[in-house]
Amino acid sequence: MKTLLNVVVLLLASTLGLALGWSMLDLPVAAVRLPEQVTAQLDMSGVAHPVTAVLLNFRGYDTLLEIAVLLAALLGMLVLPRHVAGRENRPVPASTMLQTLARLLVPLMVLVAGYVLWAGAYQPGGAFQAGAVLAGAGVLLHLAGLLPAWVTLGQTLRAGLAVGLLVFIAVGAAVMAQGTLLQYPPDWAGALILAIEANLTLSIGLILAGLYLVLTNSGERA
Partner 1 sequence: MIFDLLLAAALLWSAAQALTTPDLFRAVVMFIIFGLLMALAWVRLSAPDIALAEAAIGAGLTGALLLDAVGHLRKKQRNRSP
State how far the alpha carbon of 43 is from the alpha carbons of 98, 123, 162, 171, 180, in Å. Answer: 47, 15, 31, 20, 19
Length of the chain: 222
**What would the DSSP string read from start to end of 22-89?**
HHHHHPPPPSS-HHHHHHHHHHHHS-S-HHHHIIIIITHHHHHHHHHHHHHHHHHHHHS-----SGGG
Question: Which position among 60, 91, 126, 164 is part of the footprint of partner 1 (CB under 8 A)?
Answer: 126
CB of 216 to partner 1, least distance (A): 6
Q: With CB under 8 A as the contact rule, which of the stretches 83-91, 134-142, 166-174, 182-190 interacts with partner 1?
A: 134-142
Between 129 and 203, name the residue whose CB sits nearer to partner 1. Answer: 129
Q: Does 93 bind partner 1 (CB under 8 A)?
A: no
Q: Does 63 bind partner 1 (CB under 8 A)?
A: no
Q: With CB under 8 A as the contact rule, which of the stretches 21-29, 97-105, 124-132, 188-196 interacts with partner 1?
A: 124-132
Mark residues 186-215: x for contact with partner 1 by CB under 8 A, - for none.
----------------------x--xx--x
Q: How many residues bind partner 1 (CB under 8 A)?
A: 20
Between 133 and 194, name the residue whose CB sits nearer to partner 1. Answer: 133
Question: Which position among 60, 97, 125, 176 is part of the footprint of partner 1 (CB under 8 A)?
Answer: 125
140/108 Cα distance (integer angstroms): 12
Greatest Cα pair distance in the chain: 67
Whether 63 and 55 have beta carbons less than 8 Å apart is answered as yes
181/190 Cα distance (integer angstroms): 17
Between 123 and 186, name the residue whose CB sits nearer to partner 1. Answer: 123
Question: Which position among 117, 133, 151, 192 is part of the footprint of partner 1 (CB under 8 A)?
Answer: 133
Between 175 and 196, name the residue whose CB sits nearer to partner 1. Answer: 196
Please name which of 140, 117, 138 lies closest in space to residue 129, comparing C-alpha atoms: 117
Between 128 and 150, name the residue whose CB sits nearer to partner 1. Answer: 128
Work out the angle between the directed axes of helices 189-218 and 127-143 (0-180°, nearest 10): 30
Q: Does 51 bind partner 1 (CB under 8 A)?
A: yes
Q: Does 94 bind partner 1 (CB under 8 A)?
A: no
- Half-sphere exposure (CA, 13 Å, Cβ side) for 139? 15
Q: Does 132 bind partner 1 (CB under 8 A)?
A: yes
